[in-house]
Structure 1
Amino acid sequence: MIKYFILVFLAVVNFSSYSQKICGTVYDESKISQEIREDVQSFYNRVGNKTQNYGNESIAINNFNPNSGIIMIPVVVHVVSRTLAENISDEQICSQIEILNQDFGRRNADRNQTPAQFSGLATNTEIQFYLATSDPSGNMTDGITRTSTSRISFTDNDDVKSTTTNGQDPWDTNRYLNIWVCNLANDLGGYAQFPWMYSSSPNTDGLVIHYEVFGNTGTLLPNYDLGRIAVHETGHWLGLKHIWGDDGGLCTESDDIADTPNQGNHYGGQCPTTVQSSCGSNDMYMNYMDYTNDACKNLFTFGQKAVMRATLNSGGYRGAFEYILPNMTGPSLVCTFNSTFNLNNLPPGSTVNWSSSSNINISISTNDQATINASNPFVSGTGWLEANIITDCGEIPIRNFFWVGRQQTQPEI
């Protein structure tokens, strides 16, 4: 198989006894055909992000995000291990799924660390993840496979993705995000397969992550102990490039996304505490698609959200991927009489906890339905009802806003 990502060797950063863990996913146009290059550029242009106007993020989302609401992606984690340490725990795996959901949902605890200049561009991507509850044959599963290997380590040649090379075969890559966790050599923290390569290489689709940088619990490496390498690689899997354009500091290439300012190079192994500038603008080094240490990354932008959701939508590179699109339906006005809200398209086996704003009473609730009314109909205002979908690895919230009280004062919501 032709390789569509290359390993970039970077300078060793001396922290403790560990070296910098790097990403092996690079958009290198010299490694792909002219036809694919043109198609990828056409995709970015269609999404509407290739513009110098940073205010056009919402246009891109409206034009190429016909599916509203949260997209939920089933995940299978393949643990391929030789030693006890490499055979990471279920708890460590769950911690990584929770991190994916927090970071992609803009619920990360460090979101308040985003510099003021970029805080208005940071957003909830409305993409969430859960460990699969059924395997490709329809049997119940915890979404985790465990494979013993004789291999001391793996590289970015995809050997870990096949039993014939002492790895583990993927589950249907059109139904699951496959994540392999193993011992990676050559200072690789992880790598992913870009979505435009799915049609030619479906059997190698997914992410590979070093076991010592997966999640936020267990035996982890300093500076890579918050699970952000898997967040970064998942961004690649959904169509994002590195924000500096992989041009080696020349400022001649970019990630083709309008609201991530072009920057000269990555900030690998660093955690800047002051404003950094290159290519005529301040750098968004805290973006998940940079190389900064885990503690420095804290945002995806509106433009990146548009690209990732366009990748999953009909006509996108992963338009046939079988994700779940849960949604809540109900009235736009809630008064003293009971109003019913329904929750549709839940992941199999999940349960729901309901909560609401203080001006709402929840009178009856089940897994997929809640009946509510206004606690004081003489006080009008905005209210909300939230369904927290409980998975094996935390909760995924879905919130619906509506007007509470007298209809004649109801504004447009």
Structure 2
Amino acid sequence: MKYLFTFLVLFVFNYVNYAQIIPEHNTEKCGSDIVHKWRLEHESGYAESYAKLQSYVNKFVAAHPDGFSPKAVITIPVVFHIVLSPTEHAGFLDSRCTENIGTLNTDFAGLSTHSMGDFPASLKANCDIQFCLATISPTGAATTGIERVDYNGPEWTAGDNGVKQSSGGGLDAWDPTSYLNIWVCNLTGSLLGYGTYPTVLDNFYGLVIDFTATGTTGALPPFDLGGTASHEIGHCFYLEHIWGDLGACSVDDGINDTPIQESSTSGNPTPPLLDACQTASPGIMFMNYMDYSDDIAYANFTPDQKTIIQALFASGGILEPLTNSIKCGIPLVADFIGNPSVPATVNIGGTVDFTDLTTGTPTAWEWTFTGAVTTTSSTQNPQNIQYSTLGLFPVKLKVTKPNFADSITKLAYIEVINPLDVNCDFIGAPTCIVAGDSVNFTDLSTNTPTTWKWKFNGGTPDTAIVKNPQNILYDTPGVYSVYLHASNLTSSDTLTKLGYITVMDPSEVPNANFMANLTNMQAGTSINFTNQSTGLYDSLQWYFSGAVPPSSTSNNPASITYNTVGDFNVTLILYSSTCNNDTLIKPLWIHVFDPADVGPVHADFHATTSRLIYVPGATVNYEDLSTGNITQWQWTFYGGTPPTSPAQSPQSIGYTIPNIYDVCLIVSNSLYSDTLCKTEYIVVSDNPWPNNSFCDTVTNILPTEHPLTFMHLTPKYWGYFPGHNGSLTKYYAEKVTNYTFSEVSGLIIPPVKCYSASPNNKVIFTIWDVDNQGLPGSVLGTKNVLINTFVPLIYKSVMFDTPVQVNGQFFVGYQLYYNTPYDTFVVYMSPNRPNPIDNHLYLKKNASSVWQTPTQFFQDTMQVNVSLAISVIGCLVGINVEEINMDSQISVYPNPTSDKINIELKDFVPSSFNCNLYDLTGRKIKIETFNTNTNFYEIDVSKFNNGIYLLEINVNNQRTVKKVSIIK
């Protein structure tokens, strides 16, 4: 029998293929700490590997304060290398190894029946680790998981790696990434075993145990219950001795749920066992496998010890490769299906057939059918399982084969119903919405219910009694359940769908967007993509048609190479487990050309962020929209930082000084170039604009072109130009170039003559886009106005019902009708201009006619180059701006005005009042305000230029902003 005693030993350590001498030391039951400390001092690289192991485990434990359990039990293939003399071999049967596998599985599953003393049973953890004897050798041949070699040399000492090498008289390790290696030999003195910490998975990793402490039958008491292997494998799984090895109450094993104890324990103490560190019950945890107690006393690994063990097998852990080993055979994964299919709905008295779908070839089956007439079965595919009780029932399947077992329970898998009773069911559409949206519900209950009671948690209304409730509004983000009780005269049923409706904050909705540093390039170019998506999503997927690689899951994919000439799509998909996914496809977005193919280019671009920005810190992103085989881009950002850029689509161009700025782009290749300047494209202000927009009026009439005019067409035609006339001119369109506006809200019309032959006769004011010939194209928006609402020589504003979206260039004008008797409607225009390039007016007789200039239309020798005197009311819609709305309490009139502005405060007397006027650049205009009455104020604007201004009114420390038009 081996006992603990002190002796001097010559310690041979063969990690580097030559003997090294360890100084004299105290020999213990376990030599793991001795080996570890020697390696720290003498083995190159070991300290660094151990520190890395410590750091990884500490981070894992900190990230899992409540412990960690894997998705499935981890089964580790084990090989026993038995290095004994022929006589010792004869007394050591293979069954000893099989027995030790059994004790290991009991100990690591937390199934030991040994007492925990005064400690709670919760400290006996199931480590979710099992062991099996390997059945497949490294060569792929069948094996018992046990190999032997005769050895007639001296007893082995702790750390003598000769036992782990055939060249040293022992046996070589099997691949440590696929097997746990256990060497069984005759160890010297009282040494029962030692294990190595998992710093590296090399051919020396594993444990060595004495043959007298292996297995149960024939092992020598008190170490005859397999506890030595459990103890040493604990070291292989990075567990320290429970007392910390230094013998003091200030030293610990670093584990929270193992009490500090002064020293190791021997024998089989009676609990509670107290020491200098633990002076009251429950005392020290001598029953822990990492103490030195007898096997009969061993009982537990703790939950925190389990977390450390599982850290090694988790993703990124050093023992993770062992989780994928199939050297004991293919693991079992239990599964099954019932017929009727999932979920199985069965009429009372009906039967279900079950089919085993387990992978890994089980050899035994244990079925449990709760609620069935036949409640168990051991056949692989049970048939005709009858259910005669109403209800919802689970089904369980446990499968086994040598070394493996698995089970699965499918809850609420069988629903037994009365076919004549109401069976409640419903659907909602959609079930994932943005706050403020609605859901429609449809009853799917069977057997004709006649009454319904709905409850909608979080919804408005929150109840309903109709069959199919519609437009249930959800205003607050969250996850909500829906309840339905349906009944008829003979039966009823209830269904609650928990967490059925998901309501998202608008800012959380996935919205895919992206940009690339190049979209127009020569073949062979590599480019980088930037994800500009917003909202919450779990993962993403890119697809790059025609590129290498063709896909990516990176947030910002780099070095995507296009070798093939063509135009290619780019797709970005955002995947959200919370709500809907979102997909953005930019069709034919990537243009790849042959470097030898040189042709004309056309410049175009737009801002992808707001063009109405506020300083400080305001930036704008630009996207190139140019066409052609372009090799160079040169941007100029007036007022921007940086002021220029050679990038295709520059991002984050900063602006710091309030003003309105131009942006220019020159694109070119070796033979061609093109330039586009968008004047007054960026509006920068340090003051907020009302209604989230910057607005202005523009006209093609020059300041010097007054007085305005029109033309009599007599004697050649009756009537007027531009208006009703004898040539039956029906359409008039004025070309406008303005890169500031994103939309047109209205027009200011200067009528000369306006006579309506009938009260219902009208003019249609129209906005067209520009076709590829520079002429009026598609209609963007219209507004019908009765002619008799106009007054000659008085300006009239015509506002569109919905602002019309425009993009830099567009046409404004009107369409006339030639009724009987004729109407007369004429609008002012500019005086005639000498240069045809200064003509902006186009006209035609009817819808099928061709647009012409006035000179072309009248086929006259006199050149007519003019512009309509219509003013466009345009806005640049920008970012959200918070402002206080006092419209109900403040009136500003007249608006438009020519000389003065009146401000009336309704129903209250102000304690404080002041106002400021700003022009379109945000510049403050000096004004004088006259208090004409307690609630009335007047501002003189007679000397100001035409245009739109912002009037800031501050009353009682509250602020509002009004747009004011000055027209003279």
TM over 0.5: yes
Tell me the matched-pair count: 373
Task: Verify: 1:343 aligned to 2:340, yes or no.
Answer: no
Aligned mate of 2:95, from 91, 94, 103 = 91
Per the alignment, residue 14 of structure 1 pairs with none
Per the alignment, residue 411 of structure 2 pairs with 403
Per the alignment, residue 25 of structure 1 pairs with 32
Task: Verify: 1:181 aligned to 2:193, yes or no.
Answer: no
Farther off after superposition, 208-217 or 305-314? 305-314
Per the alignment, residue 47 of structure 1 pairs with 60
* Distance change >3 Å, CA 122–CA 164, structure 1 → 2: same
**Which amino acid in 2 is paired with 1:149?**
Y
What's the CA shift for 1:326?
A: 4.3
Per the alignment, residue 385 of structure 1 pairs with 397
Aligned mate of 1:101, from 101, 105, 110 = 105
Q: In structure 2, the residue corresponding to 1:385 is in which secondary structure?
A: strand
Q: How far apart, CA to CA, are the structure 2 residues paired with 1:73 and 1:189?
A: 23
| 8 Å Cα contact 1:334/1:402 also seen in 2 | no
* Distance change >3 Å, CA 70–CA 327, structure 1 → 2: farther
Q: In structure 2, the residue corresponding to 1:44 is in which secondary structure?
A: helix
Q: How far apart, CA to CA, are the structure 2 residues paired with 1:136 and 1:6?
A: 38
| 8 Å Cα contact 1:80/1:146 also seen in 2 | yes
* Distance change >3 Å, CA 29–CA 164, structure 1 → 2: closer
TM-score (norm 1): 0.79
| 8 Å Cα contact 2:138/2:174 also seen in 1 | yes
Q: In structure 1, the residue corresponding to 2:357 is in which secondary structure?
A: strand
Per-residue CA deviations over 1:337-385 (Å, capped at 9, x if unaligned) read 34545333x4xxx74322244737456744xx88896766546566643
Task: Verify: 1:9 aligned to 2:16, yes or no.
Answer: no
| 8 Å Cα contact 1:71/1:323 also seen in 2 | no
Task: Verify: 1:234 aligned to 2:237, yes or no.
Answer: no
Q: How far apart, CA to CA, are the structure 2 residues paired with 1:240 and 1:329?
A: 35
Q: In structure 1, the residue corresponding to 2:138 is in which secondary structure?
A: coil
- Runs of 5+ unmatched residues, structure 2: 1-14, 41-45, 347-351, 417-493, 499-968
Per the alignment, residue 167 of structure 1 pairs with 170
**Which amino acid in 2 is paired with 1:273?**
T
Per-residue CA deviations over 1:195-241 (Å, capped at 9, x if unaligned) read 1243xxx11111111111100112x2120010110111111112211
| 8 Å Cα contact 1:47/1:60 also seen in 2 | no
Per the alignment, residue 274 of structure 2 pairs with 277
- Runs of 5+ unmatched residues, structure 1: 11-20, 51-55
What's the CA shift for 1:290?
A: 1.0
Q: How far apart, CA to CA, are the structure 2 residues paired with 1:402 and 1:25?
A: 45
| 8 Å Cα contact 1:71/1:326 also seen in 2 | no
What's the CA shift for 1:49?
A: 6.0
Q: How far apart, CA to CA, are the structure 1 residues paired with 2:397 and 2:23?
A: 47
**Which amino acid in 1 is paired with 2:319?**
R
| 8 Å Cα contact 2:366/2:399 also seen in 1 | yes
| 8 Å Cα contact 1:76/1:178 also seen in 2 | yes
Question: How well do the aligned residues superpose, as a CA RMSD in angstroms?
Answer: 3.4
Per the alignment, residue 193 of structure 2 pairs with 190
| 8 Å Cα contact 1:333/1:403 also seen in 2 | no
Higher relative contact order (CA 8 A, sep 6+): 1
Task: Verify: 1:254 aligned to 2:252, yes or no.
Answer: yes
* Distance change >3 Å, CA 24–CA 363, structure 1 → 2: same
**Which amino acid in 1 is paired with 2:151?**
T
Per-residue CA deviations over 1:134-163 (Å, capped at 9, x if unaligned) read 111111111111101121321121211111
Q: How far apart, CA to CA, are the structure 2 residues paired with 1:90 and 1:177?
A: 17
Structure with higher strand content: 2
**Which amino acid in 1 is paired with 2:120?**
F
Q: How far apart, CA to CA, are the structure 1 residues paired with 2:157 and 2:177?
A: 24
Per the alignment, residue 210 of structure 1 pairs with 210
Q: How far apart, CA to CA, are the structure 1 residues paired with 2:210 and 2:363?
A: 33
Per the alignment, residue 355 of structure 1 pairs with 366
Per the alignment, residue 38 of structure 1 pairs with 51
Q: How far apart, CA to CA, are the structure 1 residues paired with 2:99 and 2:272?
A: 31
Q: How far apart, CA to CA, are the structure 2 residues paired with 1:365 and 1:151?
A: 54
Q: How far apart, CA to CA, are the structure 1 residues paired with 2:131 and 2:384?
A: 29
Task: Verify: 1:264 aligned to 2:262, yes or no.
Answer: yes
| 8 Å Cα contact 2:137/2:143 also seen in 1 | yes
| 8 Å Cα contact 1:353/1:390 also seen in 2 | no
What's the CA shift for 1:389?
A: 3.0
What's the CA shift for 1:117?
A: 2.3
Per-residue CA deviations over 1:296-346 (Å, capped at 9, x if unaligned) read 0011122222211221222112122343564334579777634545333x4
* Distance change >3 Å, CA 134–CA 42, structure 1 → 2: same
Q: In structure 2, the residue corresponding to 1:328 is in which secondary structure?
A: coil
**Which amino acid in 2 is paired with 1:354?**
W
Farther off after superposition, 400-409 or 226-235? 400-409
| 8 Å Cα contact 2:193/2:208 also seen in 1 | yes
Structure with higher helix content: 1
What's the CA shift for 1:115?
A: 2.8
Q: How far apart, CA to CA, are the structure 2 residues paired with 1:285 and 1:318?
A: 28
Q: How far apart, CA to CA, are the structure 2 residues paired with 1:402 and 1:212?
A: 46
Q: How far apart, CA to CA, are the structure 1 residues paired with 2:354 and 2:254?
A: 45
* Distance change >3 Å, CA 114–CA 280, structure 1 → 2: closer
| 8 Å Cα contact 2:73/2:129 also seen in 1 | yes
Farther off after superposition, 38-47 or 178-187? 38-47
Per the alignment, residue 299 of structure 1 pairs with 300
Q: How far apart, CA to CA, are the structure 1 residues paired with 2:83 and 2:26?
A: 25
Q: How far apart, CA to CA, are the structure 2 residues paired with 1:285 and 1:153?
A: 30
- What is the correspondence of 1:58-137 to structure 2 with a 5 Å cutoff? 59-61=66-68, 65=69, 67-87=70-90, 88-108=92-112, 110-111=113-114, 113-137=115-139
Q: How far apart, CA to CA, are the structure 1 residues paired with 2:309 and 2:23?
A: 22
| 8 Å Cα contact 1:69/1:326 also seen in 2 | no
| 8 Å Cα contact 1:106/1:123 also seen in 2 | yes
| 8 Å Cα contact 2:57/2:311 also seen in 1 | no
Which of these two proteins has the greater Rg computed from alpha carbons? 2
**Which amino acid in 2 is paired with 1:260?**
T
| 8 Å Cα contact 1:70/1:126 also seen in 2 | yes
